[in-house]
A = this chain, B = another copy of it.
Amino acid sequence: MKFRTYPEFSSLYPLTLKTFMKRSVSLYPNEIGLVYRNPDTGQYSRFTWQQWYQRSCQIARVLQELGVKAGKPGQPGNRVATMAMNHNQHLELYFAVPCIGAVLHAINMRLSLDHIVYTINHAEDRILLFDDFSFPILEQIYDRIRNKIEKFIYISDKPGKPETKIEPVYEYEEVLKKQPPEFEWPYLDENTYATLCYTTGTTGTPKGVLFTHRQLYLESLNVMLRFNWNNDPAALRFDESAVPIVSVPMYHVHAWMIPYYATYTAQKIVLPGRYTEEGFCELVEKEKVTYTAMVPTMLAMLVEYKDLKKYDMSSLKSIVCGAAVLPLGLKAKIEELIPSVIAATAGYGMTEGAPAMVGGFVKKTMKDLPKSKLDEVRVRAGLPEPGLEVEVVDDNGKPVPRDNKTTGEIVVRGPWIMEQYYKSPDKTAESWRDGWFHTGDVAKVDEDGYITIADRITNVIRSGAEMIPTMLLEELTATADFVLEATYVGVPDEKWGERPMAIIKPVSGATPSEEDIIKFLEDEGIAKGKITRWMLPDYIVFTDTIPRTSVGKYDKVAIKKQMDGFLTQAKRIHKRQ
């Protein structure tokens, strides 16, 4: 008898996104898997898992016919770019592109035009799919990428093509229709590259990061387990009946993985096109959304939304906030407005972590704490994601003491951490040292292992011999009733090197004075041992808009560029001797 084993179907069975895609359609072919609301027309489209799967098969066939080639381990397949919002077609591409062995490059549309052009050229995208929202952006950059992109595909729920100089343009819905609704997905090695994400490049050109199927599979499984292991008595049960709305743009590091793990879980996925307060509230009410992930800016917009009270938001149980730490004040405001909600941080992550590195978590030893104590835990960055090794280390690579005071750099390694910056060996070597990926973020650790982000290494204000962590000040200031947002930057100082300036956006209607700010920082910060007097700002300025990066973080680079303007309006409170 001829002897044959099948390691490729057993011990080496590949960990690919196909496994996620197949579960939902196999279990729930006739259940609604996907709801899309066009934010401009208010129109709804609904798809069963079967319809979504069949459309994914069809677009996969289209891409193969257009010549898109698969890659193999170490050699990425052709890059297929999207300039697209959160709609059903984008979710189709989230699976169809990687599952034919090609690489999905979801272009971050909040980058500058120069950086968008840079990433398209750097990625060597061959096919680009765009929609009604991105069409004007694409027209502006078309002349600079036309030699690179071979074919364009236009995604719209309106029939017909737009009047444009862009060519050749195929219509997504038209080319789809011509294909049979099934597809023999190729057998892929799990180390085939699936996606290419770019960092936001606040301090230089964006850096590209490739992720394999294996990495996305393992990240999804471990992060889902952490959701379920969380002992927060108010935590959402992350089961098939949970309903997410994808608020974060799908061009932001896999929309924080919700599209991938919600598909594996067969949760009904709600897509709002782009985030608007009206769309969000209407979809929560109509689709009985139970959870979402947001950046704090979106949450601040929601808190200020005048029509919020007109909607029945009672299905919504959980809002996790990422990209920046959730201020306790903002948390309290949203929970007052939507009493069914518990808001917590989503943890801490970055493009290089795909993005999950540290996850929000209540330990089992804490679950009987009173709400105020639990809330403090809920706004911490959290604990290392299961499956990862995360340490906070000093300059010699030694873990800092767990005293919640000593700061060090966060280093990380594990199954879904970036292997290298695409085509940037030097930048890779700067980040990967001694077997650890160096995040460039500064943090401290408490005795329970909770990691609190102190700052970006580059954002720390260096004043005398001290490092003033700006995030600490920002979070504290934002807990004031009269403050909506607050950031701190260093102002050059002859004697001390730098001194802090506070840039504050009050809540609408409030008119705090500089003295109110200082008094608040003294009472809530210094008196309670959270900050030292040395950290009090020397300058305070009130403003209507604080510059943010495309991912919703305070844009310190832009702020520093406008430094003269801010300084002109600022009031000098103090001059340190």
The distance from the CB of A97 to the nearest CB of chain B, in whole angstroms, is: 19
Cross-chain contact of A414 among B9, B428, B435 (Cβ < 8 A): B9
The distance from the CB of A86 to the nearest CB of chain B, in whole angstroms, is: 23
Residues of chain B with a CB closer than 8 A to A496's CB: none
Determine how many copies of this chain the complex contains. Answer: 2
> Is the C-beta of A437 less than 8 angstroms from some C-beta in chain B?
yes
> Which of A145-153, A219-227, A465-473, A507-515 contacts its partner?
A219-227
Q: Kindly list 4 other residue pairs between chains A and B, CB separation below 8 angstroms, not including A3-B429, A10-B419, A10-B437.
A: A6-B432, A224-B225, A225-B225, A240-B363
B-contact 0/1 string along A420-439, CB 8 Å cutoff: 10000110111010011100
In the docked arrangement, what's the CA distance between A425 and B6, Å?
A: 12
23 A–B contact pairs at CB < 8 A? A1-B429, A1-B430, A2-B429, A4-B429, A4-B432, A5-B432, A6-B432, A9-B436, A10-B215, A10-B419, A10-B437, A11-B415, A12-B191, A15-B415, A26-B449, A27-B383, A27-B449, A28-B365, A228-B239, A229-B239, A229-B265, A240-B364, A266-B364
Of chain B, the residue at the smallest CB distance from A363 is B27
B-contact 0/1 string along A373-396, CB 8 Å cutoff: 000000000010011000000000
Cross-chain contact of A9 among B364, B367, B413 (Cβ < 8 A): B413
Cross-chain contact of A23 among B386, B415, B419, B430 (Cβ < 8 A): B386
Residues in chain A within 8 A of chain B (CB atoms): 1-7, 9-13, 15, 19, 23, 26-28, 31, 191, 212, 214-215, 218, 221-222, 224-225, 228-231, 237-241, 264-266, 363-365, 367, 383, 386-387, 413-420, 425-426, 428-430, 432, 435-437, 449
Report whether A435 and B27 are in contact in the complex, using a CB–CB cutoff of 8 Å. Answer: no
In the docked arrangement, what's the CA distance between A12 and B266, Å?
A: 28
The 4 closest A-B pairs by CB, nearest first: A9-B413, A3-B425, A13-B415, A10-B419
Given contacts A5-B420, A6-B419, A241-B231, contact A214 B363 (CB under 8 A): no
Of chain B, the residue at the smallest CB distance from A11 is B419
Cross-chain contact of A426 among B3, B212, B420 (Cβ < 8 A): B3
Residues of chain B with a CB closer than 8 A to A12's CB: 191
